[in-house]
Amino acid sequence: MMNALLYALEANLYLSLFAIFYFFALRKEKNHLTNRMVLLSSILIAWTIPGISYLEPVSGLLPSLRLEAITISPNTLADSPTVFNFSFQEVLASIYVLGIMVGSAIFIKRLLGTLSFFTWNSTSPISSLKLVETDSKEAWSFFNLIALGKEIPAENKEWILEHEKVHVEEKHSADKLLIQLVKIIGWFNPAVYYLEFALEENHEFRADEVVCERFSNTITYSHVLVSQSLGGIPVNLLGNQFSKKTLLKSRIQMINQTKQTGKMKYLLTIPVLAVALLLHSCTKEESATTSSSEPSAIAQTAQTNSDEVFDVVEKMPEFKDGMEGLIAFMSENTVYPKSASAADETGKVFVTFVIDEAGNVTNPEVVEKASVQSVALRNAALETVGKMPAWTPGEQSGKKVKVKMTLPIKFELE
């Protein structure tokens, strides 16, 4: 779960970088097709870059279970172990998942509402399109489905219908679905909401541009936009909306703007991409440094007495009652050394051990470089690990195998 959260955080960092670049460099450019390509590419690239490291396979095996640090203090009571020990990372992950669930529910509701709207209303075929006439002043589209209000003045309908046809022809609804999915995953990132707005604005700019080219009359079309400004689409539906007050001013300004090339600005996407890759490289190096300073459960296989010992297997070993059971056992059986307490000695002790094919704990050792130097704390940790009952052994390709585990034990004084 934490890997997924870190992946999402890194991807949203790049999304923010690309959104800032687009806002300051490209949003006022009249190259709407190119801008659309930049926006969509930014989304895809942002979610691809982190995968260069996070999705790298480790010896073709599945990711390892990381054991949480277990805290031991002088006041740890044998009959009341701290079983429910939620880390800050776990709380963050839970909040993140909750946000995804809420966003998914909202998206599904809007999507079903949109589809049911066209299902329960009679449609009139126009070439490959399906048209629904509503008792309103609304006009909007979703893929090849177009809703057109009966209250729209007759002289405006042809303009508006052509506008919606552009959305259909250029498949703008596919972009809307993509950004909705990105918004679900990156619900916490303001840049995602800006990118959603930027895509919607780009779609309208492009449709306006095509309509003005077909009719060769920007003034009349501007009047159509103003007269339709009171229309609106129900907020629970997805679709390309013709009338939206927040876009009215910018659309009229863009219609009357002289087309500029601004090609040099698009070359700036290269250094922006380079910055994103540099950030990714720094993130990867930091991750590697952390992995070297603290033992990780993910590693290559090692050899012990000519028998293969795995750090990662398809089915990891499991303590009785899982992590809660392990926390309870360590809390009940680890005694904080009096000498260490008197000397105010605290810190983490990393103990590695091998769960053999029968589930027995073998070869417990302290990781020298990562652990606190206190001999008393090290011995206390080793003694408790040595007392562990048998685990459920790990399995690889259907066979029970030896698996190396790492357990951080944190000694702290209250």
pTM for the full predicted model: 0.67
Q: For 351-397, what is each residue's pLDDT tens digit?
A: 999 999 999 999 999 988 878 889 999 999 999 999 999 999 999 88
H-state helical runs in 228-342: 245-255, 263-267, 269-293, 322-333, 338-342
8 with 14: CB under 8 angstroms? no
Distance CA 95, CA 146 (A): 38
Instruction: Give residue 16's pLDDT.
Output: 97
Tell me what pLDDT residue 285 has.
56
pLDDT of residue 165: 96
Q: What is residue 128's predicted lDDT score, i.e. its pLDDT?
A: 84
Least confident of 30-34, 134-138, 164-168, 248-252: 134-138
**CA–CA distance, 248 with 325 (Å, rounded to integer):** 61
253: left (phi over 0), alpha (psi -120 to 50) or beta: alpha
Is the predicted pLDDT of residue 46 greater than 90, yes or no? Answer: yes
pLDDT for position 64: 35
Query: What digits encode the pLDDT tens for the residues 195-241?
Result: 999 999 999 999 999 999 999 999 999 999 998 876 555 556 788 88
Rounded alpha-carbon distances, angstroms, from residue 186 to 5, 46, 181: 10, 12, 9
- The pLDDT assigned to 230 comes to 64
Q: In the predicted model, is pLDDT for residue 301 greater than 80? A: no
Highest mean pLDDT among 238-247, 320-329, 379-388: 379-388
pLDDT value, residue 287: 52
Question: Residue 116: enclosing H or E segment and its boundaries?
Answer: helix 88-120
Task: Give dist(CA 388, CA 375) in Å, integer.
Answer: 21
Structural domains of the chain, with CATH:
2-54+86-275 (no CATH), 70-85+295-411 (3.30.2420.10)
pLDDT, tens digit, 9 for 90 and up, residues 123-154: 788 888 999 998 888 899 999 999 998 989 99
Distance from C-alpha of 97 to C-alpha of 340, rounded to nearest angstrom: 41
Q: Rounded to an integer, what distance in angstroms lies between the CA atom of residue 49 and that of residue 345? A: 43
User: What band does 400 get if pLDDT is binned at 50, 70 and 90?
Assistant: very high
